[in-house]
Structure 1
């Protein structure tokens, strides 16, 4: 395959810690490792614009500002970002643009690519619940903000030559909300081998793990209440990795429920510590209701961990009830307690379901995702070249 110059636009990128930034950085590094020239444009992690090279990728950052209601969320203002992204686009002159959102960075790059006639691929990671949670939108305004958010996204993504989303459920949501058709489901993908390790210690306590933002749509309070309701006699510990606006409240809830000494809130951890946490976990729980795929659930599955997840959004694509874990009705804490108790109390079930998780995650290998996007880029460039020949 002929090496391409690929520009990835993302409104959050490493070292930010969230699913979108982790996917974008893995996509960029993976494409660079395959011989492509890869550039990324993203908001600065600490404010000032800069250029750096990491994992073979040239990362151009634009000036960003801290969002007033969130400790880690940063935004790039559109009135300064659009001229900057236009200049960067002209300097980079990519063969193809691949944006990860419709916010200021993605928006500016799409306008520049459209003016230049450059093929555009757009992947949707947008969920209204994530937007209103991050921005702390008051409840009475959440419904109109959600409607405006989808309308605004459609204004930008309608210019893309190909639109993708991580799962069939995510595609269904996108098309229903915007009226788009023809979108493709392409898994975010993971390097499954990175997470494989020895089985958890059968003689130690059963470790229940959650990884994700400490924000309202993740519903960690349901996990805390279910864990506290486990029958007496279970030797279990709960490990929670992630940061967010709800951490203090949920830490207080754990103490109130009497599980503070058996629950560790670890905040952000390094990639190495995260891998170690997956490998020592006995059960992974994802109670979130706004998952378009859930990379952390895929990572836990790759480590050979059974999964209990909310029966919401795209999580049913990952959890096969009775095979690699269980689904439960969001908000039904007694049902979650029952599912947790069954796995916490049965080592053989955990081992069997963990092995099934490893089998199921094979369909989400990063290599397949990279090949799919390479194929999309090449098809779009082929169409453009054919059109230029006909015009000549």
Structure 2
């Protein structure tokens, strides 16, 4: 059974008495007609595969909608060029200049954490109140070593006034900067990149976490971080190193263990750390889902949290509050993140620039039960 979701369809406009498949076909037709009228696409529609992924519908449902638009004379199929826009629809809402925002996620959707989905939904609702729409685009072609061709095709086809870059790799950020495409980075930026960005202060978080663990008597502390070299992870390493260097204890030892972000890779990294002589007495884990894998591996090794080893999660997720012992973690209200990002996006829409190129939010430290005083040798 098809379970497509048509974004931003007004509740009162949905004919609930229609069969499910017919309902989806009508919703798709109305949405495509409206987006053409708004000027979202000016020359031709995106490829069918891209539309199916964006609207979360099957190709059959999409083709039913395209057939209807062809019958109305709004589009026509041309070999080698796709579905060309031949006329603006006068049905539905009155056409107006689009104020649409594209949210780009290089790679697959499974890169997103649940908290990303929450603040994206808040941002979408806040923009909708101002007559703007948020559209999500994702794909492995944007995560290539050289994504320039795919990015050029995307921004040429999708005439958005501003882009939000989520989990963006360095080549993506540099392409948007070099081509002067209006955007805001939802996350950290790389060195020598001057794009406006809104992010959590990962450097300050990891510096604080190092101080927290040192204050509880831990002297051998390890940072568990994936090899992605995302800008936020790089800042985490630097902040962790700063916190450890500030220690007045000459015997404080910093360890950084990289892994491939898979469960076996995380487990191997934990086993290698705990095989050291002497082993670390505390772990700072960058990703909240990797926290779960790491603590499970510690249990398999016969180690108890926090009696034998203390563990802190750099980021928060709702599920962490259901674990026992409850993890010590750093959390932020996703709505506050969405508000901060909204301010930057609206300024970009109005003037093409932002008054603040850098917005960093400090999460609150949630004292859980996963940190204890270090055991004396």
**Normalized against structure 1, the TM-score is what?**
0.31
Name which one, 1 or 2, has greater alpha-carbon Rg.
Answer: 2
The structure in which a higher percent of residues are helix is: 1
**Normalized against structure 2, the TM-score is what?**
0.32
